[in-house]
Amino acid sequence: MLLRDVRDDDLRIFFEQERDPIANLLAAYPARDLEAFMLHWRKKASGDTPCFIKTIMFDGCLAGSIECWANDGKWLLGYWIGREFWGKGIATAALREFLTYVKMRPLHAHVPSHNKASLRVLEKCGFTVSGQGSIFSEVHGHDVEEIHFTYHSEKSEFPAPKFFQEI
């Protein structure tokens, strides 16, 4: 597993991964059409909203993305893994690595309670439950329960890879 900077040609794969209906149900997040998707990524690249994004590579293939961004005075974390890469420990490895060079704290993540794999990834990486709530899910057509997680550690338990620059 390797994290690297996002390249323009990654966006088409990110778009296809985001359109997976099973992933959408787990994330309680709707797929966007290509125009809305590209607008979203152009906004990220513009620098208007502070964010840090990496592409997740696995065995030479683009497996997904991981990012954190500022929203309402909090740093939020998110990741998306293509379904063909699920169950291989990639999300856990990517998050552990990401935490070694992203220094903003605390980090927050909100995960639908039915997304057991993602809940476990956060727990394995040292995030703790800090609350719960519900959000309306367009994908489900009703409110879904979500678990709120926080990561406070000032120092990562995981050694920083030498090829990373600190952010």
127-156 pLDDT tens trace: 999 999 999 999 999 999 999 999 998 654
pLDDT interval class at 93 (50, 70, 90) = very high
pLDDT over 80 at 157, yes or no: no
Distances (CA, A) of 78 to 64, 141, 163: 11, 22, 22
Domains of the chain: 2-151 (3.40.630.30)
pLDDT of residue 43: 84
The rounded mean pLDDT for the chain is 90
pLDDT of residue 162: 40
Gap between the Cα atoms of 16 and 93, Å rounded:
22
- How many other C-beta atoms are found inside a 10 Å radius of the C-beta of residue 109? 24
Residues 6+ apart with CB under 8 A from 123: none
Gap between the Cα atoms of 1 and 96, Å rounded:
11
pTM: 0.89
pLDDT interval class at 41 (50, 70, 90) = confident
